[in-house]
Amino acid sequence: MTEAKQHHILAIGGHAGDMDLTAGAVIAKYTQAGQRATFLHLTPGEKGHPRMTPEDYAKQKIDEAHQFAEIVGADVRFLAYKDAELPLDEEVKYQVADVIREVKPDIIITHWKESIHKDHANTHYIVEDARFYAGLKTIERELPSHYAQHLYYADNWEDPYDFHPEVFIDIPEEAYETWVRAMNVYAYARGETYGFPFIEYYKALTIVRGAPMNFKRAQAFAVPRGVLTKRLQFF
């Protein structure tokens, strides 16, 4: 019998919570199937609280990110950048490339490029170059090269412009319930910062994305140009 292929998802977001909400149900599905997943947050997203200082909220967001990852069975990493100050430069690209070489994902999920938040847009371009740098043997770093074969863009309400989902992943009940429980660790997701009902929005979005595919629930992803629409159980 041929052993099932092992997958490792690396979900790279501009802020803690971005990939958790947009791809967390798929990540829970993968980890519950015995696969690996890692969140890489480029900033905590610490400037999004109207009553807490960025320093205090950063500590809270980092703690919440670790709680979320533990619930869904994933690892979590942070880079040392500040919310709304994420640069689009070679230094951060190589830092992300080094993480790719270290954790060796075959699947990367990140932001779509057209966003109302510059950190999201910058993350998109950072990841595209970092994936390229990580895969080039001729770029010498501390770790050997690794090419992540698959790249997907998550369905984020802040990244809506020209976002066309082409991959729809079925979300089973156990993964869905785990993801909902995990989302509730984030104060902002519960609506405690500016009142936006993130949890209810993303729960509803799984129905919106699933129904046309004849799934009860799904999370949807855009893909690099040239990849056809697919109806899948896994990536």
73-117 pLDDT tens trace: 999 999 999 999 999 999 999 999 999 999 999 999 999 999 999
Q: Is residue 198 part of a domain?
A: yes
Query: In the structure, what pLDDT confidence band is assigned to residue 229 with cuts at 50, 70 and 90?
Result: low
The verdict on residue 113 lying in a domain is: yes
CA atoms 76, 80, 86, 88: torsion sign = negative
For residue 147, tell me if it sits in a domain.
yes
Cα–Cα distance measured from residue 148 to residue 86, given in angstroms and rounded to the nearest whole number: 23
Residue 32 lies in a domain: yes
230 within some domain: no
Q: What distance in Å separates the CA atoms of residue 117 and residue 182, rounded to the nearest whole number?
A: 24
Radius of gyration (C-alpha) of the chain in whole angstroms? 17
Domain that holds residue 37: 8-222
The predicted model scores a pTM of 0.95
* CA distance readout (Å), 50 to 13, 46, 47, 103, 186: 22, 10, 8, 35, 15
- The per-residue pLDDT for range 4-51, each reduced to its tens digit, is 579 999 999 999 999 999 999 999 999 999 999 999 999 999 999 999
Pairs from 201-209 (Cβ < 8 Å, separation ≥ 24): 201/157, 202/21, 202/22, 205/155, 206/25, 206/171, 206/176, 209/155, 209/165, 209/168
CATH number at residue 111: 3.40.50.10320
Entry field: residues in the chain: 235
**Structurally, how many domains does the chain consist of?**
1
Q: Is 233 domain-assigned?
A: no
Interval 142-151: pLDDT, tens: 999 999 999 9
Q: Is residue 228 part of a domain?
A: no
pLDDT at 1: 36
Residue 3 falls inside a structural domain: no
